[in-house]
Structure formats: structure tokens, C-alpha cells
A and B are shown apart, each in its own frame.
Chain A
């Protein structure tokens, strides 16, 4: 049965219409984004789209409170990010973004593991295209390829997990997975890689800031949050997620504190915020799951807002490092105010959406008497204010006078930022607007006197620590090494060492290793020459071979298992 209320269908139609010459491409895309948002508000709980595949029944349309909430925020942010991206010269980015969003919505509405996997992979392709479409940045190519490599790896692990799981369970329904089936741990690993969990957290900060000023806004919203959705669906209450979440939270804070690139600070803070959601999922009570869902909702809004204000600065100044900007509040007051509202929201300041959502996760830990989790979450809340709440606006809009006097960005970009700022405050003052979307009826009152005072003390004194220790936070022209060192450089060094040993014994093997090393150097780390086109015809084949070798290796391991 075909159901025409699937929001992805309209986003895909939008892409098709942009190929018709008589239409204004951007107006077409905006209109279809609006239609898909309106549709998402009225998703039909009863309807379904079922297909038969081999002996399995695929469900392409499963609507409940959880999936509906995610689809609403996905379509809403697509609409607002599209308004922001109107003056993006290349239409390729918006087309790619719409493909990406369609896949993300498809994954969220999937009721079975096979269709989830198909949309999962489409999402990886769509998001890679968003990164690659930033042709003005030569780093985006190598970064995009590394991004794709990690997601293909995650996809392969997920695929093996799903095949194994389905063959044992004889069931592909995507609900709470049976952990006695060891293949469900591979599925978990696949989800965690996309969520930016350690050790593969580096891809977020590596790839997202290399997209265009508007592309990053799209990227920030969907991949990690689809993983959050999938983890809620399949692994709610799994204790290990609490520990993954806590590591992500502090990883995000520490790396963001060390970072100089404006958008990379915000990328690290995505990992940090997803960490909070993972903790909520791991605790697994109704309150904490509600918290993870609302926090994902609120986070998509304020992170998009923060990235839009950062994107506006980059768009107007062409500078992307904290050390190159500063004092921009003089000529960009509206962007500054919007950035500050986003920063306050991510820090969970009372009257912003972060306060009414993150509090549910922290309270979830307290209600379960998880003292050590709670005390770490409190420290992390102060840390969020430190690295994103103050550091971001301070170094971008205040600190020194850089001498730059850029104007405010174009009106469409301002409109998008003002809309999102409004939503941050709206959900902060009227949290019930958000709570009514939740799956569990659990009354939660964020505004109690002791909660507000506790939070204000915590955050304001964290602010004091920032200004007292400001000389320690001086930015430097550096990047910070991460796990990606192993596949960007470590592997090449290892191959060099192995080659030296083997060389004396076997020239053939040595040559084989050299060609593999050249592949790594040319196709994975260093971008190919776009002007001459050298390497252009080979990289797809190279990547496919690389991906295939991983597939075979894992397949072998699974068979041996």
C-alpha cells in the first residue's frame, strides 16, 4: 500500500523538481520542506507501508510518539536551515541535504532492521555529498572521504549485525533487541559509530567544519540524532550506554577547550551533547528516556542556531579561527545576540530550552540514586557552559578587537537565526509544548525554586572560573591529535615499518604494501588534484576495494566466531 503522507517523499519530489528548468529551484525546495513539515505534524498513527522482501516483511512507515517527535524536528530544522541556505550559490548542497534528510526520516520511520539499514547507508551518502559539495574548501574532499570511510565501516558492522540477528531470531522487527543474541552487539557498535562514540568520535570534528557555512547546519542535526533514536528504540536501559555517554561528555568538553576553529568547537560540543542523551538512554527510566528525546529535540534547534551564528561570521569574514576574529559584536549585534541565546540554551540556563530538557536526564540519574553518574553530569553541565556557553561567544564576538567590521549577514540568514532563537526561548518558558510530544506521561516540573537556584549557582560560578582562568584558555594555532591519527598517519607508519622488515625477504609483498600505502596517502589523507583530475577516476574504485576488504575481513571473523 502506498501512503502519500511520508515526509521523505516530498523532500525527494523537491529534488526532482529542481531539475525542471522553469522553476525557481530554491523556492521549490523551500515549498517542499514546508509541506513535509506540515505533514509531519499530522503523521497518521494507524497508517503503514508494508513491503515483502525475501521472506521478511518490511515496514517503511511506523509512527508512534518517539518517531513522530524526531520527524517533526527533522522537518522543522530542514525548513529553517533551507531559509538560511538560500544564498548558497551551489544548488548541489541543498539537493544533497534533502537526500540526506529524506534518508534520516526514512530511518526514523523504519519499523524493521533491513529498511533501517538501507536508509542508514543512504544517509551516509547524502551527508558525504553535503561535505563534498563545498568545492571552495579543498580540505572538504579528503575530510569527506574519511567521513565516508568511517560511515562505511559502521555500515558494514551494522549490516553483519542485522544479517546475523535476523538469521537467528527469524524476526527483523526493530524494537528492543535481544542482547543474548551476540549479533545485537554488532548492531550496537554500528549505532555507536554514527553517534560519535569513542573511539570513533573524531569524525564529527574532522568532517563537519569542512562543509560550507550552511552545510554544517544540516550535518549537525541528523546523523548523530538518528543514532540516538535508534539507540532509544533498540537499547534503552542498557547500562554500558551510561559509560559511553559520560566519556563522550568529557571528551567533548576537553577537546573543545583545546580547539581554535570556531565550528570545530561546536562539533566537539555535539559529541558532548549526544553523550548526555546516551546517559539518558542508558538509565532507561521513563523520565530519562523522555529527557533524551526532548534533549535531542532542543539540541537540534540550539546547535543549528550556534552553527548558524558561526556560519554567519565565516560567511561575512571568511575567517574560521578564534585567533582571527573577536570584537564582532560592534557590527554584528543581532548575530551576537542570537549566538548568545544559543549558547545559553546549550548551557541549560533557566528560561531556555536546554534547562527544561537536560534537567530531565540529570533528574533521571538522581531519581535512580545513581550518585556518581549524577555528580559527573553536574560537573559536565558546568563544563558545557565553560566550553560552549562562554568560550564560543566570548572568543568569536568579544575578547580582543580584531579590527574586522563585517556587516550583519543577509536577511534570510538573520531570519533563520531569529526563528531558532525564538524557539529556544519558547520551549524554555513553555516546556509543556515539548513535553506533550513525549511517549511517556511523566509529569516533570523543571521550574522549582531549588532547581533554579542550584543551576544558577552552578553556571554562574563556572562562568567565574572561565574569566578567572582566561589566560590559561588563550588560543593557539594548533589542532589536537585524536584517534583518527591511527588511520591518517599511524597505519602508514606501521606499513613503512612492516615493509622494511619484509623487503629483504619478499620484493613482491613489499610492492603490494607500497601500493596500499600510496592509496592511503593519496586517497584517504591527501586530497587529489581537482584541477588536473589526477586520481579522480580511481578514488571510487580505491574506496570500494578498501571497503570491500573490510567487509570480507569482518565476514570472515563472523564466520569464525
Chain B
């Protein structure tokens, strides 16, 4: 099972990031060849889904973090 350790090596992680960014770019480039034809105008803008996917997650993490300040308590709170 030790042969799976390579996945955590720095070199591999760097390669994975390069691969990931490459795939992200590909999904954007594909939009040139297959223009999106949605129900709403906003869907047709270049990279809308990419921007919206990133941006909405950004907002959700911020909101979660902010609510966490108010609502998070220690695990033994009810004991």
C-alpha cells in the first residue's frame, strides 16, 4: 500500500494543480466551439457558469464563516 504515498508528494500536488488549471481552461475554451444556448440571456455570456460557480461558493463560504462565529459552540455544549 506504500506505493500510494506518491499522491501526497509535493511534486505530484504541483502536477495535479497544473492539470486542474489546464482542465479549467479547456472548459472555458470549449465554449468557443459549442456556444451555450440556454433559456436565459445570462447563460450565453462567456464564462458565466465558471464565474458564477466560483463566486457563489466564495459567498457561501463567507456566509458560513460569519454564521459560524454566532452559532458554533463547543462539542460538549449540551452535556
A interface residues (Cβ-Cβ under 8 A, vs B): 250, 253-254, 257-258, 327, 329-331, 333, 366-367, 369, 371, 374-375, 378-379, 382-383, 386, 401, 405, 449-450, 453-466, 469, 472-473, 476-482, 488-489, 525-526
CB-nearest residue of chain B relative to A330? B4
If A254-B60, A456-B27 touch, does A472 touch B53 (CB 8 Å cutoff)?
A: no
Q: How far is the CA of A462 from the CA of B20 in the complex (A)?
A: 12
CB-nearest residue of chain A relative to B51? A461
Please, could you name 27 A-B residue pairs with CB atoms under 8 Å apart, sorted by A? A327-B8, A330-B1, A330-B4, A333-B4, A374-B40, A378-B52, A382-B52, A405-B1, A453-B30, A453-B49, A454-B43, A458-B49, A460-B20, A460-B24, A461-B49, A461-B54, A462-B57, A464-B20, A465-B58, A476-B72, A478-B72, A478-B74, A479-B72, A480-B68, A480-B71, A480-B72, A481-B71
Residues of B within 8 A of A464 (CB): 20, 24, 54
B56, chain A: closest CB distance, angstroms = 4
In the complex, per-residue mask of B5-24: 1 if CB is within 8 Å of any chain A CB, else 0: 10110000000000010011
**Is the CB–CB distance between A462 and B4 below 8 Å?**
no
Residues of A within 8 A of B37 (CB): 450
If A330-B5, A525-B78 touch, does A465 touch B72 (CB 8 Å cutoff)?
A: no
**Residue of B8, B20, B58 touching A401 (CB-CB under 8 A):** B8
Residues of A within 8 A of B24 (CB): 460-461, 464
Residues of B within 8 A of A258 (CB): 64, 67-68, 71-72
Residues of B within 8 A of A477 (CB): 74-75
Q: How far is the CA of A375 from the CA of B40 in the complex (A)?
A: 10
A424, chain B: closest CB distance, angstroms = 21
A219, chain B: closest CB distance, angstroms = 21
Q: How far is the CA of A160 from the CA of B1 in the complex (A)?
A: 59
Q: How far is the CA of A477 from the CA of B75 in the complex (A)?
A: 6
**Is the CB–CB distance between B4 and A382 below 8 Å?**
no
**Is the CB–CB distance between A453 and B60 below 8 Å?**
no
B contacts with A: majority SS: helix
CB-nearest residue of chain A relative to B42? A375
Q: How far is the CA of A405 from the CA of B79 in the complex (A)?
A: 32
Residues of A within 8 A of B5 (CB): 330
Q: How far is the CA of A481 from the CA of B1 in the complex (A)?
A: 41
Given contacts A250-B60, A457-B31, 15 further A-B contacts (CB under 8 A): A329-B7, A331-B1, A333-B1, A366-B38, A378-B56, A379-B52, A379-B60, A450-B38, A453-B34, A458-B53, A461-B50, A462-B57, A465-B53, A478-B72, A488-B78
Determine the interface band of chain B, counting residues with CB < 8 A from chain A: 35 or more
CB-nearest residue of chain B relative to A371? B40
Q: How far is the CA of A378 from the CA of B71 in the complex (A)?
A: 26
Q: How far is the CA of A329 from the CA of B36 in the complex (A)?
A: 37
Q: How far is the CA of A560 from the CA of B37 in the complex (A)?
A: 56
**Is the CB–CB distance between B38 and A383 below 8 Å?**
no
Residues of B within 8 A of A330 (CB): 1-2, 4-5
CB-nearest residue of chain A relative to B24? A460
A381, chain B: closest CB distance, angstroms = 8
B1, chain A: closest CB distance, angstroms = 5
A277, chain B: closest CB distance, angstroms = 20
**Is the CB–CB distance between B4 and A466 below 8 Å?**
no
**Is the CB–CB distance between B60 and A460 below 8 Å?**
no
CB-nearest residue of chain A relative to B2? A330
Residues of B within 8 A of A476 (CB): 72
**Residue of A327, A382, A473 touching B53 (CB-CB under 8 A):** A382
Residues of B within 8 A of A453 (CB): 27, 30-31, 34, 36, 49
If A401-B8, A454-B36, A525-B78 touch, does A465 touch B57 (CB 8 Å cutoff)?
A: yes
**Is the CB–CB distance between A366 and B60 below 8 Å?**
no
Q: How far is the CA of A379 from the CA of B30 in the complex (A)?
A: 22
**Is the CB–CB distance between A462 and B54 below 8 Å?**
yes
**Residue of A383, A450, A456, A480 touching B57 (CB-CB under 8 A):** A383
CB-nearest residue of chain A relative to B79? A526
Residues of B within 8 A of A386 (CB): 57, 60-61
Residues of A within 8 A of B57 (CB): 382-383, 386, 462, 465-466, 469
**Is the CB–CB distance between A479 and B73 below 8 Å?**
yes
**Is the CB–CB distance between B71 and A449 below 8 Å?**
no
**Is the CB–CB distance between B36 and A479 below 8 Å?**
no
Residues of A within 8 A of B79 (CB): 526
**Is the CB–CB distance between B53 and A461 below 8 Å?**
yes
Which of B40, B53, B56 has most chain A Cβ within 10 Å? B53
CB-nearest residue of chain B relative to A321? B75
Q: How far is the CA of A331 from the CA of B42 in the complex (A)?
A: 46
Residues of B within 8 A of A374 (CB): 39-40
**Is the CB–CB distance between B61 and A465 below 8 Å?**
yes
A57, chain B: closest CB distance, angstroms = 46
**Is the CB–CB distance between B4 and A458 below 8 Å?**
no
If A254-B64, A254-B67, A330-B4 touch, does A479 touch B75 (CB 8 Å cutoff)?
A: yes
B70, chain A: closest CB distance, angstroms = 8
Q: How far is the CA of A457 from the CA of B28 in the complex (A)?
A: 7
Please list the 8 inter-chain residue pairs (A to B) with the smallest Cβ-Cβ separation, ordered nearest first: A465-B57, A379-B56, A457-B49, A461-B53, A458-B53, A257-B64, A366-B39, A457-B50
